[in-house]
Amino acid sequence: MNLSDYAFIREAYLGSGGFSDGSYIDKFPRESDEKYSERKKIAYYTNLFASKINRYIGYLYKTAPMRTTSNQLIRAVFDDVDSRGNSVDVFMSSFAKNAKALGGNLLLIDMPSTLPNNLKEQLDTRALPYFVEIEPHSVVKYKMDKFGKFEYISFNSTIDNSTYDKEDIKQVVRYYDRTEWRVYDGKDIIDSGTHNLGVCPVISFGENGTFPDVGEFNQIAHLQKRHYNLKSELDEILRGQTFSLLTVNADSPSDIELKLSTDNAIVYGKEMTRPSFIAPESASASIYQKEIQTIEDTINKIAYDISTNQAQESGIALDIKFQGLNGSLSNFAMRLEDFEIRAFEVVARYLQIQNADVTIQYPKTFNIVDVEKEISTLSEIKALGYTLPTYEKLKLQQIVANDLNSVDNDSLSTIDAEIEDGLKQSTNTDA
């Protein structure tokens, strides 16, 4: 995968660039420049990509990761991880969305250049390490060691010295290696310093553990471009062929006098055949609509969209889809957990903490199921006439746990006790 591919995928995910200005609309072979320009102007982008990413990451963060530390400096980083007031949960949720869309992502762990003399002032002024997300397509040059860690990396960035009445944004290149950092304006170094961490403070996330990496949702970007073009081409057909055409049968068309009167009626001569209308063929539009639906179905399949076409799918097919989603979420969660641990190892190096005592745990088991199907299964089992209180209890607990996945453990324990009491009462009543 080339770094430039990340830019295209990002545009598809955000609906920006060529998906917003029409430059990804392909020109017909015999289409005039004027007509092509007009078609680009009215093209609209239906962003299916972002909704799939939001749904996926919603499952992932339905139960928040657990983070613990006995160090108050690191706890302060947990609470404000990017020096903008965002907690690590908020930051990592956004980072994960971009990582899932792109298949890979980058993180810079940086540190203020000057530090206070005491701990209180350091906490009060938040003179602590902070996270900065780096867009992968902005990378200029890099080198990795055999363990997949950066020896050095440089990427495009900006320095914003704008004031209220004057914009002053300078394009620069930032460079980091295992001991120092530099800022380049062209070939000139305009700022530099050392961090002496012994590791590069830029770390990579890859869905498969590498950088650059190919994610399982990457292909949606190319499908979105095809979808964008098909919608535009269908729109051209609908605008040009939807309306019926007026026809008049005449031996000498030049002799025909036909007009619309002021009351909007068609006036025609006594000797003329009555005018009629013919409707264009709908086959072309139907073909486009079918192809658009095929692409949307493919995107849904790639993104594990379990909310579509359930009525048409067999129980086995749905089970496979749910298993695929649960497996994908588990793998992605493990990658994020490992990535975040590495990030806080860099934080500890900045703070010169030998034993950071940081524990980070992402949920690994999701067990996302079709709640309606599980309720139906329970009803069918009960209809057999057997008394299976243990099965009923476990099945009800599973249904409740999936339906209320964000509820705290104490509340779930209370519900479990209510389920057990309810089953006992039901059994006593039946007896």
- In 357-414, the DSSP E strands lie at 358-361
Among 279, 294, 324, the domain boundary falls at 279
3 state DSSP class of 377: helix
> What is the per-residue pLDDT across 389-427, written as a single tens digit (0 to 9) for each?
788 787 787 777 766 665 666 777 788 788 877 777 766
> What is the per-residue pLDDT across 43-77, written as a single tens digit (0 to 9) for each?
999 999 999 999 999 888 888 899 999 999 999 99
> What is the per-residue pLDDT across 225-274, written as a single tens digit (0 to 9) for each?
999 999 999 988 877 665 566 666 666 655 566 665 555 566 666 666 67
> What is the per-residue pLDDT across 308-338, written as a single tens digit (0 to 9) for each?
555 555 556 666 777 888 899 999 999 999 9
Residues spanned by the domain of 428? 369-431
Total of domains in the chain:
3
Q: How far apart are CA 236 and CA 20, in angstroms?
A: 18
Contacts of 299 (CB under 8 A, 6+ apart): 48, 49, 52, 220, 223, 224, 227, 305
Are 399 and 430 found together in one domain?
yes
Are 236 and 247 found together in one domain?
no
Q: Is residue 270 part of a domain?
A: yes
pLDDT band of residue 153 (cuts 50, 70, 90) is: very high
**CB–CB of 216/207 below 8 Å?**
yes
Question: What residues pair up with 204 in beta bridges, in sequence order?
Answer: 106
- Of the listed ranges 189-203, 375-389, 395-409, the least confidently predicted one is 395-409
pTM: 0.79
Count how many Cα atoms sit within 13 Å of the Cα of residue 261 in the half-sphere of its side chain.
5
Q: What angle do CA 56, 57, 60 make, to 5 degrees?
A: 100
> What is the per-residue pLDDT across 302-311, written as a single tens digit (0 to 9) for each?
998 876 555 5
Are 235 and 275 found together in one domain?
no
Q: Shortest CA distance to 130 belongs to which of 169, 87, 67, 179?
A: 87
Q: How far apart are CA 365 and CA 400, in angstroms?
A: 16
Q: Shortest CA distance to 92 belongs to which of 126, 124, 67?
A: 67
Using only C-alpha atoms, the chain has a radius of gyration, in whole angstroms, of: 31
Q: Is residue 356 part of a domain?
A: no
Instruction: Select the more confidently predicted residue: 64 or 343.
Output: 343
Top mean-pLDDT range of 180-184, 248-252, 355-359, 363-367: 180-184
Q: Is residue 173 part of a domain?
A: no
281 has a pLDDT exceeding 80: no
Q: Is residue 76 part of a domain?
A: no
Exposed (0-12), middle (13-18) or buried (19+): which is 393, by Cβ within 10 Å?
Answer: middle
Q: Average model confidence (pLDDT) for the chain?
A: 85
- How many Cβ atoms are within 10 Å of 234's Cβ, its own excluded? 18
Are 257 and 238 found together in one domain?
no
Report pLDDT for 411. 76
> How confident is the model over 203-227, as a mean pLDDT?
94
Q: Is residue 102 part of a domain?
A: no
Q: What tokens does 192 get?
A: 């530099």
Question: What residues pair up with 67 in beta bridges, in sequence order?
Answer: 360
**CB–CB of 7/14 below 8 Å?**
no
Report pLDDT for 95. 97
Exposed (0-12), middle (13-18) or buried (19+): which is 161, by Cβ within 10 Å?
Answer: exposed
Q: Is residue 390 part of a domain?
A: yes
Are 223 and 258 found together in one domain?
no
3 state DSSP class of 122: helix
3 state DSSP class of 108: strand
Q: Is residue 414 part of a domain?
A: yes
Q: Return the sign of the alpha-carbon dihedral for residues 348, 349, 353, 357.
A: positive
Q: How many residues in the chain?
A: 431
Query: Cis before residue 129, ω within 30 degrees of 0?
Result: no
pLDDT band of residue 366 (cuts 50, 70, 90) is: confident
Report pLDDT for 421. 79
Q: How far apart are CA 410 and CA 399, in angstroms?
A: 17
Q: Is residue 335 part of a domain?
A: no
Are 265 and 293 found together in one domain?
no
